[in-house]
Amino acid sequence: MPSRRERIYDIIFEADTPLGKAFDVVLIISILLSVLAVMLDSVPALHARWGAFFYFLEWLFTVLFTVEYLVRLWCIGKPWAYARSFYGIVDLLGVLPAYISLLLAGSQYMLVIRLLRVLRVFRVLRLMRYVGEAQALTEAMRASRRKITVFLFTVATLVVIFGSLMFLIESPEAGFTSIPRSVYWAVVTLTTVGYGDISPLTPLGQAVSSVVMILGYAIIAVPTGIVTVELSRSMRYQTGRVCPGCGKEGHDDNARFCKFCGAELDPGHPSGE
């Protein structure tokens, strides 16, 4: 029979018991509420009226998350490994700012650290039925990271060259006061964001801009193509067929033999989501 520590571990680290699921739902709601409170507190009008209430909420959630953090440390097998893991650090960063604000006069910079709490939602998602989905996405991202790097270098080169070109063509009155600022304009234009805070005034500048826009419009096809191809690969592996010989997964729909050990596979089930 599992000890109390093991049962608590199942509740807060797993999601396959009713209690574990309930804990996850409560946790995700608490996280979202605490993030919402920090955000609303930054609105001057709301801070003036509800500031004390938001202060109370912040401490309520801080105490709750501190208790949760300590319980996680207590019931896990390797507390130190957890404390140094990505989610362990995020958990700690979610509660530290409140305590630091007691010592130091509350720095604004603590705000963003507090909001990093929102990352904790992903742990809960991981536990629930979204694991496989996130894995396919992460897999595709991982597989395409080098192509994406080459693409980002190309984009960086384009914005540097077109940005400095526009710095020569356009006058400072149009907003092109320096090369970094012109490169910022090139990013705004190439990514098709187009704030309009800096926009070309001369015919030549508008012609060059048009080239940058059409370029940006066309090359967005590249990351899309890369991710689509990789996703279609990583999603092909989702069929969940296991080799009866070596136990490995990752077989294509049309595979008849295991590609790792050569054993015959069971016929594929009609795959799908």
Region 89-108 residues binding a copy of itself, contact defined as CB under 8 A: 108
Distance CA 25, CA 236 (A): 31
Per-residue binding string, a copy of itself, 3-42, x by CB under 8 A, is --------------------------------x--xxx-x
Which CB atom, from 99 or from 217, has the smaller least distance to a copy of itself?
217
Structure tokens at 124: 């809960």
Q: What is the DSSP string of 102-163?
A: HHS---TTHHHHHHGGGGHHHHHHHHTTTHHHHHHHHHHHHHTHHHHHHHHHHHHHHHHHHH
Contacting residue, 191, 247, 266, 269, with a copy of itself by CB under 8 A: 191
CB of 81 to a copy of itself, least distance (A): 25
Cβ proximity to a copy of itself, 29 vs 207, nearer residue: 207
Q: Which residues contact 199 (CB under 8 A, 6 or more apart)?
A: 174, 175, 209
Does the footprint of a copy of itself cover residue 118 (CB under 8 A)? yes
Taking the complex as a whole, the smallest distance from the CB of residue 9 to a copy of itself amounts, in Å, to 26
Q: How far is the CB of 63 from a copy of itself (least distance, A)?
A: 22
Residue 153 contacts a copy of itself per CB under 8 A: yes
Applying CB under 8 A, among 14, 87, 164, 242 the residue interacting with a copy of itself is 164
CA-based R_g, the chain, Å:
26
Residue 264 is a binding residue for a copy of itself (CB under 8 A):
yes
Could you say whether residue 55 binds a copy of itself (CB under 8 A)? no
Q: Does 252 bind a copy of itself (CB under 8 A)?
A: yes
Own/partner contacts of 189-198, CB < 8 Å, gap of 24 or more, are 189/213, 189/216, 190/155, 190/158, 190/159, 190/162, 190/215, 190/216, 191/216, 192/216, 192/217, 192/220, 198/174
241 binds a copy of itself (CB under 8 A): no
Element (H, E) at 61: helix 44-75
Name the one range near a copy of itself by CB under 8 A: 48-56, 65-73, 87-95, 209-217.
Answer: 209-217
Q: Residue 218 interacts with a copy of itself (CB under 8 A)?
A: yes
Please select the residue that binds a copy of itself; options are 17, 29, 206, 269, rule is CB under 8 A. Answer: 206
60 binds a copy of itself (CB under 8 A): no
The answer to whether 21 and 88 have CB atoms below 8 angstroms apart is no
Give CA–CA dist 176/98, Å, rounded. Answer: 43
Site for a copy of itself contains 242 (CB under 8 A): no
Question: Which residue number, 67 or 221, has a Cβ lying nearer to a copy of itself?
Answer: 221
